Structure 1
Amino acid sequence: MNLAIIGYGKMGQLLERIAKQRGHKIVSIIDTHNVADFDSDAFRSASVAFEFTTPQTAVDNIKRAWEQNVKVVCGTTGWASALPSVLETLRSDGKSLFWASNFSVGVNIFWAINRKMARLMNRFAQYEVDIEEIHHIHKKDAPSGTAVTLAEVVADELSRKNGWTLSPQREHDKIEITAIRQGDVCGIHTIRYESHEDTITLTHEAKSREGFALGAVVAAEFMEDKEGYFTMDDLLQL
C-alpha cells in the first residue's frame, strides 16, 4: 500500500520503519519545510496518510490531505474540541478519518477494563478517583490525550463525576488529572480509587513507542477499503 507521512519527528520516523517492514511503500513525507508537497503527484498517490504533528496544525493537515482524496490516520491529540466540525466535513464530503488518542492495543484494553471498573465503582461513593500521567519532556499537550480519554471513559460510568480538571485545579464533581513531564518516559497512566480504608490502583506503562506506531500502521491497513470515521474500538472490536 502507498502511504504518506505528515510530521517527520520521532513518531513519523518510526512509522516509516514499521510500515516498510510490513511491506508498504512511503511515497511522500511532509514536514514543516515542504508543506507545498500536499499538492504533489507523490502525495496524491498515497492511499492513506499518517498525521502526527501538533494540535495547532492537525485539523488543517487533515483537510489538506482530504483535498487530495487521501484518507487520514491521525494520532495527534489536543484538538478534540474541533472534532465535531471535522466530522461534519467528513460526512458532507465523503472523506475518511481514523483518529485515536492512543494506538496502543494495550492502552485500548486498559480503557475497556476501566470502563467496566468504573461501572462497578459507581456503587461505592466512598472512593475518590484521580488520574496521573507521566510523559517525556518534549510532549506538547497536557494532560495527554490518553489521560483525557481515560477520564471521559470513567466519568461516563460514574454518576458522581462530570468530566475532568487539570491539577492543581480541583472540582469535587470532576476527575482530577495530574500531568508530569520528565526524562524520556514513553507514557505511564495510573488511575486510583482511594477511600479511608484502602487504595485500588490500575496502571498502564508503555515500554517503547513501537506499540503506538504498529497500531497506527494496522489502522492504515484497516482503512484501505473503508470510508467514514473509525476509532480503535472499530479496529479491535472492544
Structure 2
Amino acid sequence: MSSSTPPYFRDRVAIVTGAGSGIGRATATALAEAGAHVLGVGRRREALEETARAHPHIVILPLDIRAEGAADVVVAAVLERWRRLDLLVNNAGTTAVMPLAETDRSVIADLFDLNVTAPSLLAHAALPYLRDSSGSIVNVSSTYGHRPLPGGAHYAATKGALEQLTRSWALELASEGVRVNAIAPGPTKTDVLAAAGLSQDTIDEMLDHERGRIPTGRLGDPEDVARWILYIADPLGRHITGQVLTVDGGLELV
C-alpha cells in the first residue's frame, strides 16, 4: 500500500482500536505509511508489538477498551505524546454465533459492551480534541449491520446500532466540523471468528460458504478495508459525512 498511498495524513494523529491483527493492523500500518502518528490499542501486547514493528510511527497501548475509564486513558496517552488528535478508528469488535434458541444474557452484554458501548465512550472522550482539529471518526461496522444474519442476530444488531450512531453523530457534529463515517466490511480474512471461540473446522466451513455467495468470488483482505478507511477519513474529504460504505465484493447485492 505504501507505494500508492499519498501522504495525506502527514503529522496527523490517529487512534486505531483492535490494532493487534486484521483490519486494525492493516489500518494502523496504512495510516503510518501515509504520514500519520498512530496509537494502536488492543488487549494483546505481543500482537500489538508485531503491529508496531511494521512502522516506526506506530506506538502501542495494551488495554481493554471495555475497562472502566479506558477511553480517558487512551485519549490521554495520545495527547501526552502528540498534543493533538485528528482521527479515531473504532475497529475493535467481537462476534458470536448465537441462534435465538440459544440466547444467553452474558453473550448479548459482551457483544454490546465491545461493539457499541466502548466505541461510544471513546468517541465521547475524543470529541473535544476532534473539534479542535476538525477531525473525524470512522466506525468499522459489517455488511451484516444492514442485512439479516440468521444465527448471529445479536452481532448484526450491534453493528446496526453502530451504523445508526454513525449517522446520528454525523448530523449532530457536522456544524462543528467533525465528520463521522463507517466502513462495513463483508467476510474478511481476519482472526475475529477464532477469537470468538469457533473451531477451525467451523471457521473454514463458514468462510467457504460465504466465499461461494460473494459475486467477486473471494473473501476480503484486511488491506482492502484499510484502504477505504483511509479514503473516507482523508482530511481533504471535507464533504463526506454520515455515510456507511460497504466493502463486501458485492455480497450486499445477493
- Give the superposition deviation at 1:52: 0.7
- Give the superposition deviation at 1:85: 4.7
* One-letter amino acid of the counterpart of residue 211, structure 1: D
Aligned to 1:206: 219
Task: Name structure 1 gaps, 5 residues minimum.
Answer: 108-132, 143-179, 192-200, 234-238
- Identity over aligned pairs, percent: 8
User: Do structure 1's residue 50 and structure 2's residue 89 form an aligned pair?
Assistant: yes
* One-letter amino acid of the counterpart of residue 74, structure 2: D
Normalised by the size of structure 1, how large is the TM-score?
0.50
The partner residue of 2:181 within 79, 84, 98 is 98
SS of residue matched to 1:84: helix
User: Do structure 1's residue 6 and structure 2's residue 16 form an aligned pair?
Assistant: yes
Aligned to 2:193: 139
* One-letter amino acid of the counterpart of residue 139, structure 1: L
Structure 1 or 2: larger strand share?
1
Q: Flag the 1:25–1:207 CA change in 2: closer, same or farther, 3 A.
A: same
Aligned to 1:17: 29
Q: Is the 8 A contact 1:72 1:96 kept in 2?
A: yes
Measured in 2, the distance between the counterparts of 1:215 and 1:209 equals 10
The partner residue of 2:139 within 61, 70, 74 is 74
SS of residue matched to 2:13: strand
The partner residue of 2:244 within 211, 231, 234 is 231
Q: Flag the 1:185–1:217 CA change in 2: closer, same or farther, 3 A.
A: farther
Aligned to 2:122: 61
Aligned to 1:156: none
SS of residue matched to 2:37: strand
Measured in 1, the distance between the counterparts of 2:84 and 2:208 equals 33
Q: Is the 8 A contact 2:89 2:137 kept in 1?
A: yes
Structure 1 or 2: larger helix share?
2
Q: Is the 8 A contact 1:136 1:185 kept in 2?
A: no
Measured in 1, the distance between the counterparts of 2:221 and 2:208 equals 6
Q: Is the 8 A contact 1:6 1:52 kept in 2?
A: yes
Count of matched residue pairs: 157
SS of residue matched to 1:182: helix
Q: Flag the 1:92–1:220 CA change in 2: closer, same or farther, 3 A.
A: closer
Measured in 1, the distance between the counterparts of 2:193 and 2:172 equals 33
Aligned to 2:39: 28
Aligned to 1:148: none
Q: Is the 8 A contact 2:188 2:219 kept in 1?
A: no
Measured in 2, the distance between the counterparts of 1:226 and 1:15 equals 22
Measured in 2, the distance between the counterparts of 1:61 and 1:140 equals 25
> Counterparts of 1:154-193 in structure 2 under 5 Å?
181-182=203-204, 188-191=210-213
Q: Is the 8 A contact 2:136 2:179 kept in 1?
A: yes
Q: Is the 8 A contact 1:51 1:74 kept in 2?
A: yes
SS of residue matched to 1:202: coil
- Give the superposition deviation at 1:15: 1.6
* One-letter amino acid of the counterpart of residue 219, structure 1: I
Q: Considering only CA atoms, is the larger Rg found in Structure 1 or Structure 2?
A: 1
The partner residue of 2:232 within 213, 219, 229 is 219
Measured in 2, the distance between the counterparts of 1:26 and 1:184 equals 36
Deviation readout 1:93-122 (Å, 9 max, x if unpaired): 3332120212xxxx7xxxxxxxxxxxxxxx
